[in-house]
Amino acid sequence: MSSTANAFFEGLSRFDVKRNGHHPGWLKGLRRSAFQWVAEQGFPTTKDDAWKYTRVAPILEIPFEPAEPAISRRLSVGGIEELAGDLGGARLVVVNGYFAPDLSSLKRLPAGVKVMSLAAALARDEALLEPFLSRPFREQPHAFTALSAALAEDGALVQIPANTTIEEPIHVVFVSDTGASPLVSHPRSLVLAGPGILGDVYLTNAVTHVVLEEGAVVEHYKLQNETETAFHIALLNVRQGRGSRFSSHSLALGASTARHEVRVRLEAEGAEVTLNGLYMPKNEQHLDNPTTIADDEVLITAMEHHSNIVPWQMLCEEKGARLRVAPITDAGELVLSELEKLIGPKTKLVAVTHVSNVLGTVNPIRQIVEMAHARGARVLCDGAQAAPHLTVDEQALGCDFYALSGHKMYGPTGIGVLYGRSELLDEMPPYQGGGDMILSVSFEKTVYNKPPAKFEAGTPNMAGAVGLGAAVDFLGSLEQDAFSAHEQDVLGYAIRALSDVQGLQLIGTARGKASVISFVLDDVHPHDIGTILDREGIAVRTGHHCAQPLMSRLGVVATARASLACYSTRQDIDALVSGLGKVREVFR
């Protein structure tokens, strides 16, 4: 950070040390994380795309003092009504970031509706607030949401129970009342809507978080009016459930600099949002209104490995997108008709395994690619389990990306391959910086190398690459038709033999299947099966195989898995069946 930004940050840090003693442990941890984030990442500049129209440098040059809770002698109920209007209904007033009970009127509330100060709600029920107070900072952090998470002391909570109709509006009024020194406040607003409801120099850093559950309807109105020398940084963060409707109407009358950021996340089908705004700056006043409505979707299937689930969950959380899951049959086959229905105009990526590591199911990738491309979606194929069993031609499959792992191909661990279409790799930014991924570097600008070097920063895993190359050469040396026929012969023999084992149930009986066999045996835990087979010199894998959602879909906790390869024989299957006989003897 610059010296100016450092001075601004250190001044606020002193406030954190002063106030942090009375907070619960999770909130102390959140505050520490938020302060650490600002210390490491600094404040945004106009070089940041999301802030290119907002200069925060003038804010950082002012030695703001954190606002303190105090009774204002300059404000009265009549003054509040003159400022905000007397529109009827309940009114909660927050002065300099703190609830002002003497200026508020909370008597005209419907039954069950709670409107209170955030500090009081935190003292009464911290478990209710914990999931929400960190979300704006955790999901899309910048310096001001981080400072809000670190320094907010109070604000407003509006909690509306299910199936409640609000006849009169609920007003939350934020007022800045400054003294001799420039003040900064960090008021927070949290609106929880249950299912089915119908002059002076100062800085206001306001965060409002609205959660609409299924069928909820919320109308939000905001009037912002500051002096021509004041600063206003605000975030409205909205999360909407199925069938909910949110409307926001904003009137901004200016400030020296005012930023009104709106983030809406449509988390389920049927959610609707309407955003209306009127902005009337005067003279050299500056207004910025960045708006994001996130309804992109990533589609995966119910048979994915965790490595094709967790990264998309992380990305969806970061970008506000939604993760959708295509179903499978009890036999372990994709329901293609349902998958096709799930690919819509919001689908940005379809991520699907070529061969299931648990079931052995071989998915029709070419058909899935055609479905996705017809609707403008990209396709990433997880080929880790396919590479050692199938002949893989990415161009024939038509997928946009194809990933595979070295150790599944008899190669070393810690190395793999990501294939991508050249035009897409050209468009993508590098995800790491370092040597070899650059063409030229100066203090003013860096020019990146062309793919694949653009994505290979630093000293590569040279030994791993040599080992992977040897593994690829080995697989390529096999006569593919004979190799495939051999694996299918041993697989068919294994299925017939295991089907005759009393109490054994095969898990995954798709018609198109690679040589992977999962099974359970009576009530014997797969770990016990694996232990006894190990003593007999038979190697199987046991557990959830990094596919817990699939285990849940199939109604099992874990399975034992026999993975066949080019060197497997019918004699190996006979030994497996004999070993399972020993398992049955132990648990008879």
CA 451 – CA 207 distance, rounded (Å): 41
Buried b / exposed e across 470-488, counting CB within 10 Å, b at 16+? ebbeebeeeeeeebbebbe
Identify the pLDDT of residue 517: 96
User: What is the 3-state composition of the chain as percent helix, strand, coil, each rounded to the nearest 5?
Assistant: 35, 25, 40
CB-based burial, 218-250: b 16+ in 10 Å, e otherwise: bebebebebeeebbbbbbbbbbbbbbbbbebeb
pLDDT band, residue 575 (cuts 50/70/90): very high
In 10 A of CB 201, how many CB atoms?
Answer: 16
Q: Are 471 and 566 a contacting pair, CB within 8 Å?
A: no
pLDDT value, residue 199:
45
The answer as to CATH 3.30.1490.20 being correct for domain 297-415+461-474 is no
Which residues contact residue 121 at a Cβ distance below 8 angstroms, ignoring those fewer than 6 apart? 114, 128, 129, 157
State residue 17's pLDDT score.
47
Strand partners, 174: 94
pLDDT band at 65 (very low <50, low <70, confident <90, very high): confident
pLDDT of 87 higher than 60:
no
Q: Is the pLDDT of residue 169 over 70?
A: yes
pLDDT digits (tens, 9 = 90+) for 16-53: 544 554 567 777 788 888 878 888 888 888 888 888 88
The pLDDT score that the predictor gives to residue 124 is: 82
pLDDT attached to residue 144: 83
pLDDT for the residue 19: 52
Domain boundaries, the chain: 3-169+183-294, 297-415+461-474, 480-586
- Which residue do the tokens 């509306």 mark? 160
**Per residue in 441-494, pLDDT tens?**
999 889 999 999 999 999 999 999 999 999 999 999 999 889 899 999 999 999
Looking at residue 200, what is its pLDDT? 53
Contact 352, 368 (CB under 8 A): yes
Beta bridge partner(s), residue 212: 193, 240
The mean pLDDT of 530-535, rounded to a whole number, is 96
Q: What is the mean pLDDT of the chain?
A: 86
Instruction: Determine the pLDDT at residue 421.
Output: 95
Q: What residue has token string 């990738």?
A: 365
Question: Which residue stretches of 278-354 are H helix?
Answer: 310-319, 336-342
Burial of 206 (0-12, 13-18, 19+ CB in 10 A): buried
Confidence band of 225 (pLDDT split at 50, 70, 90)? confident
- CA dist 194 and 215 (Å) reads 8
Instruction: Quote the CA–CA distance of 22 and 155 in Å, as a whole number.
Output: 17
pLDDT value for 43: 85
Query: Does the pLDDT value for residue 368 go beyond 70?
Result: yes
131-158 pLDDT, tens digit per residue, is: 777 766 667 678 888 877 777 788 888 8
Instruction: Say what the pLDDT of residue 519 is.
Output: 97
Q: In residues, how long is the chain?
A: 588
**In this predicted structure, what is the pLDDT of residue 180?**
64
Give, in order, the Cα–Cα distances in Å from 19 to each of 28, 38, 67, 121, 153.
Answer: 10, 18, 12, 18, 9
At 22 the pLDDT is 58
Report which residue type is found at 312: W
Q: Mean of the pLDDT values across residues 250-265? A: 86
Residues annotated catalytic, as ranges: 546
Determine contact, residues 121/60, Cβ cutoff 8 Å: no
Helices marked H in 20-60: 25-41, 57-60
Instruction: Please determine, for residue 359, whether its predicted confidence score (pLDDT) is greater than 70.
Output: yes
Measured CA to CA, the distance from residue 577 to residue 498 in angstroms comes to 7
Rounded Cα distance, 573 and 504, in Å = 15
User: Cα–Cα distances in Å, from 177 out to 104, 183, 202, 347?
Assistant: 16, 9, 9, 48
CATH code of 480-586, in short, is: 3.90.1150.10
Q: Is residue 278 classed as helix, strand or coil in its secondary structure?
A: strand
pLDDT of residue 10: 62
State pLDDT tens for residues 385-438: 999 999 999 999 999 999 999 999 999 999 999 999 999 999 999 989 988 899
Tell me, what's the pLDDT at 9? 60
pLDDT tops 80 at residue 251: yes
> Hey, what are 74's tokens?
């300059």
Q: Integer distance in angstroms from the first to the last C-alpha of the chain?
A: 69
